[in-house]
Structure 1
Amino acid sequence: MADWSQLPKDLLDQIARRLNYDTDILRFRSICSSWRSIASYPPHRFPNRILLNPKSTSGQPDSGCFCLSKHLILRLGLPGSTQGWLVKLEQSVPEKFLILNPLSDSRIRPLPQLFPNFLDLMGVQVTELGQEFVLRYTDNRPFSYTGDVYKEKVIFSSNSVWSDEPDFVIMTIHVSGKLALFSFRDNVWTVIDDLLSPYDDVIHHKGQFYAVDSAGRAVVIEVSNSLMTRDVAPSVFGGDKKYLVESDGELLLVDRHIIADDESDSQSENCVMNYTVKFDVFKLDHVGEVWVEVRNLGDRVLFLGDNCSFSAFASDLSGCRGNCIYFLEKSCKSSREEDDGFNLSGIRVFDLMNGDIELLSPDSVCSQFFWHPPAWIMAMGS
């Protein structure tokens, strides 16, 4: 039997540099001590603090900063079994993770009584479906002052994952609706002044930053060319909220149609409830520079989350149908109740074929894919 620990370090280094997912890096490191010494974790060398607004013109002091963290969206499964579990993890301290709702940032708690304190994923099939980055404000002053830079969707891009010299870019959406970019090399936030309508979403696709505004105008951001934006295709009009999703190598634009209605519950305070009525899906034709409507996603499933949208194949998900969009519908009632991190009543399923929107039933097989943890996960604690 081959002694894998004796592989040349140069070869191990070349293998490690081709690992794109955190889960692959963790598995690589678990082989033996010599392999672990080659690949550090986490691979991205984030600075502890990112300046909030070093070029403020408001006269306010600028001691505030952001801390950057990463969430992993994983499908866990047993080899040869269709029973899986969708989970979002946030590393709170080294080797410890928080479990979050896959479609929001809410922490799931309390966990079931028999939930294991330690998960050994070496015997588990792990598929990374997506990742999101979060900027959290930290300051010694009162929390009410948060500066000028505001995060919604946060995109992180690095050209030197394994380099000892970090070099990365962060793209997010400014409180004004404009795009904001932080360059590690320049150590400065820059707001891009090209606003026609407020931006809804940003994504990093095939080495470039893309963004879409509320009017359906999609742009690519030329980071190396004075932060110029260029329209990628004619605008997509009609909907109320736009999402950019990468799916099977394609860039999709999802257009969400929403109507407002007064909540009829007389015992609650007056509020306006937004209802989703349909979605339209388009894919970018890079050559023709046009959005092409997609009427059938086939086996693909789209998940639209608060800070991250991702795609998967229904055949890999327990009981979930293909050609559907799973999304979170927030009501006035649920916003007033204490959030335990997971509420099936907020998850809806849109069928792209017939246009129907259904509640995700707690009794359905697919709901078990979201929560509760499957029996084989619980068995790890016994």
Structure 2
Amino acid sequence: MADWSQLPKDLIDQIARRLNSDIDILRFRSICSSWRSIASYPSHRFPNRILLNPKSTSGQPDSGCFYLSKHLILRLGLPGSSQGWLVKLEQSVPEKFLLLNPLSDSRICPLPQLFPNVLDLMGVQITELGQEFVLRYTDNRPFSYTGDVYKEKVIFSSNSVWSDEPDFVIMTIHVSGKLALFSFRDNVWTVIDDLLSPYDDVIHHKGQFYAVDSAGRAVVLEVSNSLTTRDVAPSVFGGDKKYLVESDGELLLVDRHIIADDESDFQNGNCMMNYTVKFDVFKLDHFGETWVEVKNLGDRVLFLGDNCSFSAFASDLSGCQGNCIYFLEKSCKLSREEDDGFNLSGIRLFDLENGHIELLTPDSVCSQFFWHPPSWIMSIGS
């Protein structure tokens, strides 16, 4: 049998430089000590703090900065098994993570007593389903008192994590509803002034930035001497909130229909002011420059969140049902004090075939991959 630890160092280094996923890098480094010593974790991989413009919108100098945190959406499973568990990890420092609920972003705490502090990456199959980024503003106040100044969705794009001259671009939605872009090379924020309706969502798809506004107008960002937007297809009208999701190589637009509940009992803290009644799904035909309605997602399932929307195959998750959409009804979510991260309060399931919306509970078959860690996870720590 070949001794992989004896591969030429130059070859190992070249292989490592082609890995862009955090999980792939960690798994690569876990093979043996010689690989770990050669494929060191890039020190400039991810910028935690980003300065504001020299002048704020009021024209006065602003010495504050943004704190940028990164979350990974992962499917954990035993090799050769379809019993997958869905988790979200917040990367605080290299190789150290906090465990979060995949949709609500609530921190899971306390962890079960037997939950391992260290996972043996050779004993678990890990698939990265998505990444999300969160910007928070800080001006020397304690982190817990800082707020999200820009809207929830933040997109991060980098040339290469192993480049000797790292470069990255951040795109988000400004509080005004306009698109905002930060270039590491120029060290400046630029607000794109093309607002017709406030933007709902942004995504990085096949090397380009896409955005959709509340009126269903989808645009692609043209990066040249000046930043401009170009319509990619006729607008999708009808719903109240739009999402962009990459699914199996396709760009999907999900249209969420929301109505007001005029009969809500507002004396009950758990009541809803608004609630979701249905979703419509469309895929982008790049050649025809049009949106084509999708009636059936097959084995695919969509997860819609404020910070990140992603797709997975139902057959890879325990008890998951295909052709469905998981989403969070914010008005039903528990308060931070009540939420231990395992609670499914506010998470709903929409069946695209029959239009039925189901409230998830810990006993629901289709919520098992959300619920407490499966027993096998307790045995793969090291």
So what's the TM-score if we normalise by structure 2? 0.92
Partner Cα separation in structure 2 for residue 236 and residue 89 of structure 1: 33
Cα displacement (A) at 1:196: 0.3
Q: Equivalents in 2 of 1:284, 1:236: separation in Å?
A: 11
Residue in 1 that maps onto 2:88: 88
Report if aligned partners of 1:73, 1:88 keep a CA contact under 8 Å in 2. Answer: yes
Within a 5 Å distance, the mapping from 1:191-340 to structure 2 comes to 191-262=191-262, 264-265=264-265, 267-268=267-268, 273-331=273-331, 334-335=334-335, 338-340=338-340
Q: CA deviation at 1:197?
A: 0.4
Judged with a 3 Å threshold, the aligned counterparts in structure 2 of structure 1 residues 14 and 104 are, in CA distance, closer, same or farther, namely: same
SS of the counterpart of 1:344? coil
Contact 1:262 1:271 in 2 (8 A): no
Structure-2 change in CA distance of 1:235 and 1:330 (3 Å)? same
Q: Counterparts of 2:92 and 2:47 in 1: how far apart (Å)?
A: 16
1:291 aligned counterpart, secondary structure: strand
* Matched-pair contact (CA < 8 Å) for 2:264–2:272: no
Alpha carbons of 1:5 and 1:148: their partners in 2 closer, same or farther (altered >3 Å)? Answer: closer
Q: Residues 53 and 147 of structure 1 are in contact (CA less than 8 Å); yes or no, is this contact kept in structure 2?
A: no
Mind listing any 5+ residue stretches in structure 1 that lack a counterpart?
none
Kept in 1, the 8 Å contact 2:210–2:219? The answer is yes
- Per-residue deviation, 1:317: 1.1
Superposed CA offset, 1:46-101 (max 9, x none):
33421123232414441110122211111111123232210001122343211001
| Deviation of the 1:44 alpha carbon | 5.6
CA separation of 1:133/1:343 partners in 2, compared to 1, >3 Å: closer, same or farther? same
Compute the displacement of 1:145 (Å): 11
Partners of 2:211 and 2:313 in 1: CA distance? 25
Shift of 1:292: 0.4
- Describe the SS at the equivalent of 1:342: coil
Judge which range, 78-87 or 235-244, deviates more: 78-87
Give the length in aligned residue pairs.
382
Q: Deviations over 1:166-211 (max 9, x none)?
A: 1110000000000000000000000000000000000000000000
Identify if the C-alpha distance between structure 1 residues 138 and 285 changes in structure 2 by more than 3 Å, giving closer, same or farther.
Answer: same
Q: Deviations over 1:107-143 (max 9, x none)?
A: 1122222222222221111111111112222222698
Structure 2 vs 1, CA of residues 377 and 147 (structure 1 numbering), >3 Å: closer, same or farther?
closer
Give CA deviations for 1:262-304 in whole Å, capped at 9, x if unaligned. Answer: 4633643698621100000000000000000000001100001
CA distance in 1, matches of 2:43, 2:263: 48
Residues 145 and 64 of structure 1: is their aligned pair in 2 closer, same or farther, counting only changes over 3 Å?
farther
Contact preservation (8 Å) 1:52, 1:149: no
The DSSP-based 3-state class of the residue aligned with 2:31 is coil
Question: Measured at CA, do residues 77 and 143 of structure 1 come closer, stay the same or move farther in structure 2, by a change above 3 Å?
Answer: closer
Structure 1 contact 53–148 (Cα < 8 Å) conserved? no
Q: 1:367 to 1:44 in 2, by over 3 A?
A: farther
Identify unmatched segments of 5+ residues in structure 2: none
CA contact (8 A) 2:77 2:124 kept: yes
Q: Identity of paired residues, percent?
A: 93
Q: Distance in 2 between matches of 1:48 and 1:379?
A: 33
1:273/1:332 contact within 8 Å kept? no
- Once the two structures are superposed, residues 192-248 of structure 1 have per-residue CA deviations (whole angstroms, 9 ceiling, x without a partner) of 000000000000000000000000000000123411100000000000000000000
State the Cα distance separating 1:360 from its structure 2 match.
Answer: 1.8
RMSD: 2.5
What's the CA shift for 1:20?
Answer: 3.1
Output the CA distance in 1 between the equivalents of 2:24 and 2:6.
20
**Contact 1:54–1:189 (CA<8 Å) still a contact in 2?**
no
Structure-1-length-normalised TM-score = 0.92
Distance 1:107 1:47, change over 3 A: same
Inter-CA distance 338–29: structure 2 relative to 1 (3 Å threshold): same
Q: Tell me the CA shift for residue 336 of structure 1.
A: 7.9
8 Å CA contact retained: 1:253, 1:283: yes
Report the counterpart of residue 142 of structure 1 in structure 2.
142
Compared with structure 1, are the counterparts of its residues 356 and 42 closer, same or farther at alpha carbon in structure 2 (3 Å cutoff)?
Answer: farther
The 1:44/1:300 distance shift into structure 2, 3 A limit, reads farther
Q: Deviations over 1:22-43 (max 9, x none)?
A: 1111111112233223433257
Contact 1:148 1:174 in 2 (8 A): no
